[in-house]
Structure 1
Amino acid sequence: MKRQNKNLRPDVNTRRADLLREKLLREISDYERQLAELKLVGNHVNFTMIQTYKELIAARQAMLKRLPVHY
């Protein structure tokens, strides 16, 4: 059973934060996999798509860091 952090406001819905955390982690994993596949494509390197995936990953990691921390 998870205990809420003493610094967490009582009105924060931790279940919704957990669901969002799971979704963000899945998306980060998917984008990292797609980025790796894109880099493996032999003779044609699409630098625009590589940069797009990097930005998508960074944005989701930033959102993940802003979620309330509890244990």
Structure 2
Amino acid sequence: MTDKLIKDRKTRKYLYRVSMALIPLLISFGFLNEDIAGDVALLLAAVFGFGAPGLADANTGDEPDQGLGA
């Protein structure tokens, strides 16, 4: 989603890390509760393109698959 808006992967990673660091602060100041903090984290992962699809994308090379015997 944001990969179309924010092209630079480093910038997306930075924004994701900052937003994930804000979740405990928002809980401690009473803006979020523990019940929805996990949902917020999952939403941020989806928006910034992380999570399972993001891990697959980051760990998949551009070279052709050589198969198991290569």
TM-score scaled to structure 2, two decimals?
0.43
Larger RCO (alpha carbons 8 Å, 6+ apart):
1
TM-score scaled to structure 1, two decimals?
0.43
